[in-house]
Amino acid sequence: MNRGIADTRFTVGEIVASGGDLYCLHLKRILPIFLVVYVPINIGLSFIPAADWAETYGDLGPRMHMAIIQLTEFFLGTLATMALAKLMEESLYGHTITWLAALRHAASRWGAAILTGLLAMLIVFGLTLLLIVPGVIWAIYYSFFLFIVALRGLSGKQALDYSRAMVKGQWWPVFTYLLVIQLLAVLAAIVVTAPFEVLPKYRLLNILSNTLSDIVSPLFLTMTIVFFLNNDYLRTWGEPANPPMNDPTGIPPSAET
């Protein structure tokens, strides 16, 4: 990447490259965040395997199991995502913060994030009941709300409106970029977990498989954060008078410390 994040709109390739660079530069601070949040989750979920739910509840079991995973991700995984967003933006300004400081910041915004997420889900669910297409459209409109809660001090309808304003007028590019990042994430998850599919279904191996996926997933979250910040800086500053510090690679030298 040879352009700064606040200077011009990134291509999807630049977003992927920038996200990869930032992930590698800050891996030693990213890993503790995701291990602290996800290892306990993975241990807990290992005691309620999907097979047991299917045996107990029949066809409804797998859906109930997936619902528990999604709720756990929503309530606890939110902390890791917001901490990562804080870590990444501070690095672009040349500030170095510890993983613990980033996690504390996320915890301070956790309640706002949960309430905003519930509001977003309620709106999207209501629109989906009317027609599928409006639900999808508004889900993309609200795709940046968590970063806005974490980094812009907004919550509730204000955060959702902020996200919608960012996406409005470029819905298809946002949808396409997010789809590309998500497909890369799914592919990486398949590669990481594939070896465990042929191994015995021991609880420890299941925990290890899920934890490896959680170590890889921040790479693609970082790409999404870069995408959000690129759009937000251009929207806020236009021709920015006070953008984040950037070297020719788009990442400040102090971010490497």
The domain locations on the chain are 12-236
User: pLDDT tens, 171-204?
Assistant: 999 999 999 999 999 999 999 988 887 777 777 8
Mapped onto helix, strand or coil, the DSSP state of residue 145 is helix
Helix (H/G/I), strand (E/B), else coil: 48? coil
Tokens matching residue 236: 């806020």
Phi, psi of 144 (to 5 degrees): -100, 5
**Both ends of the chain: CA-CA distance in Å?**
20
pLDDT value at position 55?
Answer: 65
CB atoms within 10 A of CB 66: 12
pTM confidence score: 0.85
Measured on CA atoms in the order 69, 72, 75, 77, is the torsion positive or negative?
negative
**CA distance linking residue 146 with residue 78, whole number of Å:** 8
Q: Is the pLDDT of residue 249 over 70?
A: no
Residue 101 has pLDDT above 50, yes or no: yes
Q: Give the pLDDT confidence of 135-146 residue by residue, as tens digits.
A: 899 999 999 999
The token duo for 152 is: 């812009």
Residue 50's pLDDT is 64
Chain segment 228-243, per-residue pLDDT in tens: 999 999 887 554 334 4
Amino acid identity for residue 122 in this structure: L
pLDDT at 245 over 50: no
